[in-house]
Amino acid sequence: MTGSAERAPAGSTIWGRFSGFGIAVAAMSCALDQAAKLWLIDDFDLPSRSPVALTPFIDLVLTFNAGISYGLFREQGPPAQIALWAFKLGAVAFLWAWLARAPSRLTAAALGLIIGGAVGNAIDRLHWPGVMDFVLFHIDTAGFHFRWYVFNLADVAIVAGVVGLLYESLWRGGAAKAP
């Protein structure tokens, strides 16, 4: 429930009641994403083993996404890379300000997941040719073939965060309004 006792102080744009919790969720989701990627590269040796079937419909594959969502807007040289970093920095600042106004732990957790996922994917660009994606969901039958986009744990965190915000705003009385 989002009671008035849970609301962040009015006018707070840097730190609110649930900011620490949201930042902890962001740090954990980012750390899990980065740990999984490093393990898959260094210990599991996914580059030489790819693809690896986990289930009949989930494979581990290795791909690097040089664009943003679904490979859109692939960066083309230093100006595009700087523009992409500026956009990401602005998005994280916006989400941080929203987190400072979070009225509940659910909103803070959801925003933390989105921030952690965004930071996890941004870290990839510092040391790889793009964002490392490794989970492929697919359905293959005699008459039907479906392949989803390859994704990673940061993407899962972002989607889970968005679902949390939607749940909060539609069924629990509304998430904090974005700044």
Residue 110 resides in a domain = yes
- 107 neighbors 164 (Cβ within 8 angstroms): yes
Domain count along the chain: 1
Residue 78 resides in a domain = yes
Calpha distance 157→144 (Å, rounded): 29
Q: What is the pLDDT of residues 22-74, one digit of tens each?
A: 999 999 999 999 999 999 999 999 999 999 999 999 999 999 988 766 555 55
Residue with tokens 């490093």: 38
> What is the token pair recorded at 57?
């419909």
Q: So which residues are the catalytic ones?
A: 133, 155
> What is the token pair recorded at 64?
């690097």
Q: What does residue 123 show for φ and ψ, rounded to 5 degrees?
A: -60, -40
Residue 116 resides in a domain = yes
Which range of residues forms the domain containing residue 148?
14-171
Please report which confidence band the pLDDT of residue 106 belongs to, taking 50, 70 and 90 as the band edges. Answer: very high
Residue 21 resides in a domain = yes
Residue 6 resides in a domain = no
**In the predicted model, what is the mean pLDDT of residues 96-108?**
94
Residue 1 resides in a domain = no
- Of 50, 80, 52, nearest to 66 by C-alpha is 80
Residue 8 resides in a domain = no
- 2 neighbors 165 (Cβ within 8 angstroms): no
Residue 9 resides in a domain = no
